[in-house]
Amino acid sequence: MPLLVGGLAVAIWGTTPAATAFVARDIPPAFVGVARLLVSALALTPLFLIAPPRFPTSRTARLALLASGVVGFAASFVLQGLGVARTTTAHAALIFAAAPVATGILQFLLSRRWPRAGWWAGCSVSLAGVVVLILGREPGGAATATLAGDLILVAATLTVSVGYVAGARLAGETGLFGAIVWSILVGALAVLPAAPFVVPSLAGLTTTGWAALVTLAVLCTVAGYAAWFWALDRGGAARIAPIQFAQPLTSLLIAAFVLGETLSWTLALAMALVLGGVQLSRRNAVAVGDQSRSPPSGRS
């Protein structure tokens, strides 16, 4: 059951780039992340009222909450909306796939432990894949992909990695459920000043746009996180975490068969490098002199 639930979460997250692209067709891309967070907070409100999670009391946990909510959710979601609207779903999927590398770098910097040489090798391979993806402008296959869009998504990946690390620290005091709920609510509060501009724009959403927004807010943000963390808790990180490698594959299939994007040899090479590098990094994620592994996390 944990494998099935974890696989469901990854399949849901695989729809994130395509759903973001559909919403960005109907409303300004800068509004997509804000709308996603506000609808997510509304969806969580009944659950929050019924079973409110405990609020972090220590200064460290509260700072982690601010980082997770404001950077990991609010900033990342806004950047995702801006970036996906300026590139292809396939490019977005592979850039997001490099998030574990950025997360690992942050974790090692905070812990001040030197990772194994194999980890750096995997990191280099994965980043090489991102470079191939960004610089390789294949004719016809990624005509709508832009350098600006890809770079914005790199920034989105960095901010979501900050959220991963901060969320893991927050979860140590509030639990995984509490960390996600409080982070979403704080992120929604951070973008609330933009609500008077964003909410009227939702009138321009088509039926497809509304379906995509609900998918982003309810499935990808709320249900996806709940399913993933339940699977990690019941099945163990070592057994469940590798399922994440299916996420970009799901996104690429959606890009090809739903959005009609061409999957070129450049994309295939980039995918091999990114996923191979991430896997190599995971296998060598133990810092020198430390036998504990950083807990994996997934978010889109």
pLDDT for the residue numbered 159: 92
**Residue 196 included in any domain:** yes
pLDDT for the residue numbered 288: 46
Vertex 126 angle, CA 228 and 9, to 5°:
15
Domain containing 56: what range? 2-283
**Residue 289 included in any domain:** no
**Residue 110 included in any domain:** yes
User: CB of 190 within 8 A of CB of 12?
Assistant: no
CA 268 to chain centre: 21
**Residue 262 included in any domain:** yes
Question: What is the domain count for the chain?
Answer: 1
d(CA 240, CA 298): 11
d(CA 262, CA 218): 29
What percent of the chain has pLDDT above 90? 29
pLDDT for the residue numbered 142: 43
**Residue 35 included in any domain:** yes
pLDDT for the residue numbered 89: 82
**Residue 298 included in any domain:** no
Contacts of 32 (CB under 8 A, 6+ apart): 20, 23, 24, 77, 78, 80, 81, 82, 84, 85, 216
Total length of the chain: 300
DSSP assignments along 34-77, one per residue = HHHHHHHHHHHHHHHHHSPPPPP-SHHHHHHHHIIIIIIIIIHH
Residues of the chain with pLDDT under 50: 139-143, 288-289, 291-298
CA 231 to chain centre: 17
